[in-house]
Structure 1
Amino acid sequence: MRPAMNSKGNPLQPSNDMPARTWGMRLMEPTIAVAMLYLLALITGDDITGNHAVLAIITFFVSSTVFSVTDHSHMLREARLLDFVRVILTGWMIVMGVLLLLGQLTGFFEFFSMRTLVIWLAATPVALLAGQMVVHRITYSMHKTGLSRSVLIVGVNDVALKLAERIAEHPGLLMHVEGFFDDRDLSRQPEGERIPLLGTMDELPAYARKHNISTIFISQPISAQPRIKKLLTELQDTTASIYFLPDIYVFDLIQARFDNVAGVPVVAICETPFTGINSTVKRVTDIVLASLILLMLTPIMLTIAIAIKATSRGPIIFRQRRYGLSGEEIIVYKFRSMTVTEDGDKVTQATKNDSRLTPIGGFLRRSSLDELPQFFNVLQGRMSIVGPRPHAVAHNELYRKQIKGYMLRHKVKPGITGWAQVNGFRGETDTLDKMEARISYDLDYLRRWSLWLDLWIILRTVKVTIVSDKNAY
C-alpha cells in the first residue's frame, strides 16, 4: 500500500511495516550495482577482499539514496525507453561522481584494479536499465492481465484525490482505482474537481461484494465517526482490506509518520527527521566531511588567524552564545570579523559598509571564511554542516514571540549552511518579512530532509560563496 499523503501531497513517512514490494523497488538499483561489482571482480580474476565489501557498502548506501530521490518508479506504464535511459544515466552519474570524489580524497581506489573499476562504472548503468525494463514489463503485463488490486476510495477530498493520483502514477503498486463513494453531491467537492461517483457510502458494501473489491481507503473526517463505524460494520461481510486516512492533514506536518510506543499505535505530527538510522547517517556524514574539510583548509585557517591578529586588536576567535538542538545554549566559534564582540541582550546584525568591520572583516564575511571554525563545532557535536543557521540568543528571544513555529527549527542541530542560505536568505535579516521567509525555508528543510538534499545544499553553498553573495556583509 502506498503511504498516506498529507495535505500538500507529500507522503507520510513509513513505519517499519512498509510493504516488501515498496522496499523491493527501492533496493533494486543498489542491489544490482553491488552484484555487478562482485560479478566483474570474479570475471576479471581479481582477488575479492575486504576492500570490495567496503566499496559495496558505500555504493549501496549512496545509490539507494540517489535513486530514491530520482524516483524513476513513478514513471507511467506508457513511459518510453528514452525516459528510463535518462533517469538511470542521471542517477548513476551522480553515484559515480560521489564515489570518484570519495576515492580521490581518500585514495581508496588504489586498492582496486583500474580495469575492473572502469568496466564496472561503465557496465552498471546497462544492467540497471535492463533490470528496470524487466520490472516495468512484468508490472505492465500484470496490469493488463488484471492481476492488480481493485481499489475504492470513500470520500472526495484533497487527500483522497492525491492518493488516487499517486496510485495511477505508480504501476509498481499493482493497484487501480475503480472509483469514489461519497455522500456529498458534486457541488460540495473540492474546487476545480468534479469526480463522478459510483454511489453513496450506504451503497458501497454491496458494490464491494458484487465486484470483489480487494482494497478500500476511507478518507473521512473524524466528525463522520458514526457513519464510518456503520460502514465498517457492513464491510465485515466483504474480504476487502480497509485503510483509514485520518484528517490530521489539516495540521502543518513536519516529518509525520506512523509509529508505535510499546505496541500502542501513534501518529507523529511534528518530529525531527533525525531518528533511528537517519541520526547515524547524519552524524557520520558530518564527522567525515568536517574532518576532510579541516585537513584541507588548515593552511588557509592559519593564514586568516595571522591576518586577524596583524590587522586588529582582540581575539582571533569570536565566541557567541546561540541556541542549538532542543533550544539549549551552545557556544559557536567564528573568526572575529568585527571590532566588537557582542553577546548580550542586544546584538546588532552586520549591515552594508558596517563601521565595526575590521580591515579584513568584510572579506571574511562575504566569502564565509569567518565560519570555518564552526567545523570544530561540528566535530564537537554541537552543530551540523547543514541545518538552520543558529541565531544569537537575543535574536531568538525576539523572533520566537513574533514568528509562528520559530522554535521548531531547533528540533535539529544548527548548521554552518542551510536551505534558507542557498535560497537567498543569507546575511542580514533587517525586516520581519525576511526572517519569516528564512524560517519558512528552515521548516521546509525539516520536512524534506534527505542526505541528497544535504549534499545539494553543500554544492549550492560553494557556488554561492564563489560568486560572492550580495546579501553577505
Structure 2
Amino acid sequence: MNHRYLTFIKAINLTFDYISLNVAMVLAYYLEGKEYVFWMNNVNYLPIVLVFNFTWLLSANLTGLYEQVLNKDSIKTYRNVIRTYFFFISIICFIVIVIGTKQYFITRGYLAYSAVLFGVLLVVWKLVFLTIRKSDRTRLYDLRNVVIIGSGRVGNDLQQYFRKNSGLGYNLVGFFDDNPQGIEDKNMYLGSTGDSINYVLNNKIDEIFCALPVSEKSKIEQLMSDADRNLIRFRFVPEYYDYGIKPVLIQSFGNIPVISVRPEPLENMLNRFIKRLFDIVFSILVITFLFSWLFPILAIIIKSQSKGPVFFTQLRSGRDNKPFMCYKFRSMKVNADSDKRQATRDDDRITKIGAFMRRTSIDELPQFFNVIIGNMSVVGPRPHMISHTEQYAELIDSFMIRHFLKPGITGWAQVKGLRGETKTTDAMLHRVEADVWYLENWSFLLDMKIIFLTVWNSIRGEENAF
C-alpha cells in the first residue's frame, strides 16, 4: 500500500523494538549481576549487546516482521511478533551453546531475565503501536484521487491494475480522452484532454496519470506545462512495458532517460566490496576451523572406498560465463560420464561416503578455496557444467542472466529446495528464476539468511540432496 509515512513507521517500529531489547538487557544485567559495575564499563558486556542486537535484526528479516506494518491486523501482528521472538530466543540459545558462557557475562538467570523482560516490553510496545494505529490509520494512508488521460490500451491496463490493487490507495475517478471509444465503462468518461486541468483543479484530484501515446507529443508537453503551472502532480506512463521490462532504475544521460532492465545491487562497488570481504573472512574461518581437521579424515575414507583422487575437479561456468576449475571432495567412483551426466537418485556411481557428503553438502567444502581465489562466492547461483550451460542456454531465454554474478557454494535456489537433478526444462526454469530473483534482490542480510538456512537444511536433511 502506498502510505505517506510507511518508511518512517517501519523505522519507528525497529527503533522501539531495539529500545525494548536493550532496556531489557540492562535491567537483566542489574538484576542478575553480583557486582553492580556500571554496565558500560563492563568489557564483557559489549559483545553480548552486539550479538543480541544483530540477532534480533536477523530474526526480524527472516520472518518479515517489519513488512506491511500498517496492513496487518492485530492478530497477524502479534502472531508475527511471537514467531520472531521465539526465533530470536532459539538463535541466542544456539549461540550460547556453541560459544559457551564462561568468558562473557551470560548466566541462565541473565538469559531468563532478559528474555522475559524483552518479551513483556515487546508486547506492551506493540499494544501501544496498535492502539495508535487504530485511531490514526486513515491519516496514515496516502489515499489519492486520480484521473487517467488516454483511454487506449495503456490507460485501460492502468485502470485494471488500480482495481486489482485497491490497497495501493489510488481512487480512479475517470478518464479524459479526445477519442473515448476505448473506455469500457462510459460513466468513467469525464471529457476531452483539454478539460482535464480545470476538472482536476475543481474536484480535489491529487494526481494525473498520462497514458497518451508518444505520437501525441504536443498534447503531452502542453499537459505537463499546465500541470506544473497549477501545482498538479503529473505522471507519464510510457509504453515500454510491452517489452516485459520491469523499470526500477532510471538514469539520465543529459536529457536522455536510460532505463535499466533490472536492479543489480552488486553493481554497486560498496556492496561488492562488502560481499567480497565477507567471502574472504568467512572462507578463512571455515578452512581454519572445519576443513583443516575434516580433510584428513575424509581423505582416508574416500581413498579407502574407491580408487582415485581425493578431490574432484571440473570446469564450470563462472561469472560472465568464463570457465573456471571448481573443486569438490570426490563423491563418486571415477567414471567417464562425470562431465556430461548429472547425479541421480540411487546413482550407482556414488560411494557410501559420497552419499553422506552430498546429503550434508560436505563435498562442497573445497570450494571455499575457490572463494579465496576469487572465482566463486559463498552465496550465489550454483555453477553448472559447461555442457549444461550450453544446453540450457538454448532452451531458456533467461538462463544466461545468472552469469552476471559469481557462482556460489550455496544460493537462494538451493535453500528453496531447487537443487539436485533437473529432469525437465521446467525444473531448471524454476531454478533460474530463483537465481535471477537473488541477483535483483541481493542484500547482506539475505546472504546471512541463505547461509543460516543452508546450515539448517544440512542438519535437517533435504529430499533433493543426493
Same fold (TM over 0.5): yes
User: In structure 1, what is the Cα distance between the partners aligned to 2:68 and 2:51?
Assistant: 24
Over aligned residues, Cα RMSD in angstroms?
4.2
Question: CA offset at residue 447 of structure 1?
Answer: 4.1
Per the normalisation by structure 2, the TM-score is 0.75
> What residue number does 1:349 align with?
342
Asked whether the equivalents of residues 255 and 446 of structure 1 are also in contact (C-alpha less than 8 Å), the reply is: no
Deviation of 1:152 after TM superposition, in Å, equals 0.6
The reply on whether 1:331 has 2:325 as its aligned counterpart is yes
| Counterpart-to-counterpart distance in 2, 1:274 and 1:243 | 30
Q: Which runs of 5+ in 2 are unaligned?
A: 31-37
What is the rounded CA distance, in whole Å, between the counterparts of 1:433 and 1:323 in structure 2? 21
Report the equivalent of 1:427: 420
Which sits farther off after the overlay, 35-44 or 322-331?
Answer: 35-44
Correspondence 1:47-62 to 2 at 5 A: 47-48=39-40, 50-51=46-47, 54-55=50-51, 58=54, 61-62=57-58
Which residue of the partner structure matches residue 33 of structure 1?
17
Q: In 2, Cα distance between the equivalents of 1:255 and 1:376? A: 38
Q: 1:217 to 1:58 in 2, by over 3 A?
A: farther
Query: 2:304 corresponds to which residue?
Result: 310
Q: Do 2:55 and 2:91's aligned partners in 1 also have CA atoms closer than 8 Å?
A: no
1:224-243 matched pairs, under 5 angstroms: 225-243=217-235
Structure number with higher helix proportion: 2
Shift of 1:69: 6.2
Task: Tell me which residue corresponds to 2:376.
Answer: 383
Identity %: 28
- Name the structure 2 match of 1:340: 334
**Alpha-carbon shift at residue 359 of structure 1 (Å):** 5.3
Corresponding residue pairs, total: 441
Question: 2:201 is matched by which residue type in structure 1?
Answer: R
Deviates more, 1:54-63 or 1:127-136: 54-63
Shift of 1:160: 5.3
176-185 or 306-315: which moved more?
A: 176-185
Distance 2:250 2:63 in 1: 24
Which digits, 9 at most, give the CA deviation of each residue in 1:42-87, with x for residues without a partner?
65655126447634762574366357565132516xx3x3233223
Between the aligned partners of 2:391 and 2:39, the Cα distance in structure 1 is: 63
Instruction: List per-residue Cα deviations over 1:222-267 (Å, max 9, x = no partner).
Output: 4554543343233234222223344443344578334567998643
Aligned equivalents of 2:372 and 2:147: distance in 1? 50
Rounded Cα–Cα distance in structure 2 between residues aligned with 1:128 and 1:251 = 47
Render the CA deviation track for 1:70-110: whole Å, top value 9, x for unaligned: 5132516xx3x323322333344444444554555455893
Q: Tell me if the contact between 2:56 and 2:88 (Cα under 8 Å) persists in the aligned partners.
A: no
Report how far residue 311 of structure 1 moved: 2.1
1:286-325 residue CA offsets vs partner (Å, 9 max, x unmatched): 5666566553576544432221122222221112222222
Instruction: Note if contact 2:263-2:440 (Cα within 8 Å) is conserved in structure 1.
Output: no
Distance 1:117 1:446 in 2: 38
SS in 2 for 1:340: coil
C-alpha separation in 1, matches of 2:27 and 2:351? 63
Aligned to 2:313, what secondary structure does the other structure show? strand
Deviations 1:194-218 (A, max 9, x none): 6962624623312210023333344
Distance in 2 (CA, whole Å) between partners of 1:293 and 1:270 is 33
Matched, 1:129 2:126: yes
Whether the 8 Å contact between 1:157 and 1:219 is mirrored in structure 2 is no
- The answer as to whether partners of 2:63 and 2:83 remain within 8 angstroms in 1 is no
Residues 404-419 of structure 1 aligned to structure 2 (within 5 Å): 404-419=397-412
1:151 maps onto 2:145 in alignment: yes
Q: Which runs of 4+ in 1 moved over 6 A?
A: 261-264, 341-344
Partner residue in 2 for 1:142: 139
Aligned partners of 1:151 and 1:216 also within 8 Å:
no
Q: Does structure 2 conserve the Cα–Cα contact (< 8 Å) formed by 1:320 and 1:343?
A: no
Q: List runs of 5+ in structure 1 lacking aligned partners.
A: 4-18
Indicate the larger mover: 115-124 or 313-322.
115-124
Per-residue deviation, 1:338: 2.8
Instruction: Find the aligned partners of 1:437 and 1:93 in 2 and give their Cα distance.
Output: 32
Q: TM-score, normalised by structure 1?
A: 0.75
Partners of 2:299 and 2:314 lie apart in 1 by 18
C-alpha contact (below 8 Å) 1:220/1:247 kept by paired residues: no
Q: Structure 1 counterpart of 2:11, which letter?
A: L
Amino acid in the other structure paired with 2:340: V
